[in-house]
Amino acid sequence: MSDLTGKSVLVFGGASGIGFGVAEAAVKAGAKVTIASRSQDKIDAALAKLEGAEGVSLDTGDAEALETFFKGHDAFDHVFCSAASTKVSAVRELPLEDAYASVNSKFWGAYRVTKFAKVKEGGSITLVSGFLSVRPKPGAAIQGAINAGLEGLTRGLALELAPVRVNCISPGLVMTEMYDSLEGDGRKKMFDNAAETLPVGQVGKPEHIAIQAIALMENPYMTGTTSFIDGGGRLA
The C-alpha atoms of residue 133 and residue 144 are separated, in whole angstroms, by 4
Would 235 be classed as within a structural domain?
Answer: no
Say what the pTM is. 0.94
**Number of Cβ within a 10 Å radius of residue 231:** 24
Is residue 232 in some structural domain?
Answer: no
For residues 166 and 154, is the Cβ–Cβ distance under 8 A?
Answer: yes
DSSP, collapsed to helix, strand or coil, labels residue 64 as helix
DSSP single-letter state for residue 88: -
Collect all residues with Cβ–Cβ distance below 8 Å to 227 and sequence separation of at least 6.
167, 168, 169, 170, 212, 216
Residue 215 lies in a domain: yes
Instruction: Compute CA distances 171 → 60, 102, 137, whole Å.
Output: 20, 18, 15
Q: What is the mean pLDDT of residues 174-182?
A: 76
Enumerate helices (H) and strands (E) in the chain, giving the number of each: 8, 7
191, pLDDT greater than 90: no
| Lowest model confidence (mean pLDDT) among 31-40, 159-168, 186-195 | 186-195
Domain annotation covers residue 47: yes
Would 192 be classed as within a structural domain? Answer: no
Split into its structural domains, the chain has a count of 1
In this predicted structure, what is the pLDDT of residue 131? Answer: 94
Q: Specify the CATH number for the domain of residue 34.
A: 3.40.50.720
Whether 199 is in a domain gets the answer no
pLDDT score of 181 more than 80 = no
Residue 149 lies in a domain: yes
Name the 3-class secondary structure at 98.
Answer: helix
6 Ramachandran zone, left/alpha/beta (phi>0; psi -120 to 50): left
**pLDDT reading at 119 higher than 70:** yes
* CB 171 within 8 Å of CB 22: no
Q: What is the pLDDT of residues 122-143, one digit of tens each?
A: 999 999 999 999 999 999 999 9
* Domain contains 89: yes
| pLDDT of amino acid 187 | 77
Residue-number span of the structural domain to which 43 is assigned: 8-178+206-226
Q: Kindly state the average pLDDT of the residues 163-172.
A: 97
- On the question of pLDDT at 58 being above 70, the answer is yes
